[in-house]
Amino acid sequence: MGSEPTKARHVAIIMDGNGRWAKRHHVPRAMGHQRGVEAVRRLVRALEATGLECLTLYAFSSENWNRSEEEIGDLMNLMRRFIKSDLPEFVANDVKLKIIGDWKGLAADIVAMLEDALAQTAKGKRTLAVALNYGSQQEIARAAAKAAEEGEVTVESLAANLDTADLPPLDLLIRTSGEQRLSNFLLWQAAYAEFWFTDVLWPDFTPEHLGEALDQFARRERRYGGR
């Protein structure tokens, strides 16, 4: 008899390609970001069917502040609209929201909206973790500083102070749009994760694409440094 398929508990996605999607369709970049939000909605609605315990999405990196003021403004306003419009759907789909990164450094009204969303979804059975104002190197530095305050810095004490300490270990990391790099995302957590890259631009990504990645993951043999 063959071995049982490997089941993923935690998947993370670098949602890349909104700008290229907009350029390909001859529309403003803001429209690409809007269509990217619609792709997020599709995955939230399908989260239960995936069997995942946690889905982590890279929404806004600490490096994204280097973009134009207009684009940053568009992204922040889109975030406000998304939280307002989709919070009831999160609750209805039994999804627990978690935010990782230095999200309290965002605008005060966004922070207040996020705190409310976290409270309202606290009892959800499946977790959607959203990385906002997030950089993995910065996260590791914060975790190391906290571990040092508490005592000795070890692999275990550092891991216990990461933003993701209460989440299942990362099984699979997906990046869309054909790029094949981590871009300062979950560097520590991805130590033994599997990777899946696709040329599909994020606005075109569907639950079926996620299912394809999960099916491929299930056929992989994870070795964790062993033979």
Domain ranges of the chain: 10-217
Say whether domain 10-217 belongs to CATH 3.40.1180.10: yes
Tokens of 165: 């300490």
pTM for the full model? Answer: 0.93
Residue 90 has pLDDT above 70, yes or no: yes
Instruction: Give mean pLDDT, residues 222-227.
Output: 65
pLDDT at 224: 64
Residue 132 three-state SS: strand
Give the residue with greater pLDDT, 6 vs 201. 201
- pLDDT at res. 221: 81
pLDDT tens digits, one per residue of 136-187: 999 999 999 999 999 999 999 999 999 999 999 999 999 999 999 999 999 9
For the chain, helix, strand, coil in percent to 5 are 50, 15, 35
Catalytic residues: 16, 64
Statement: residue 193 has pLDDT above 50: yes
d(CA 157, CA 191): 16
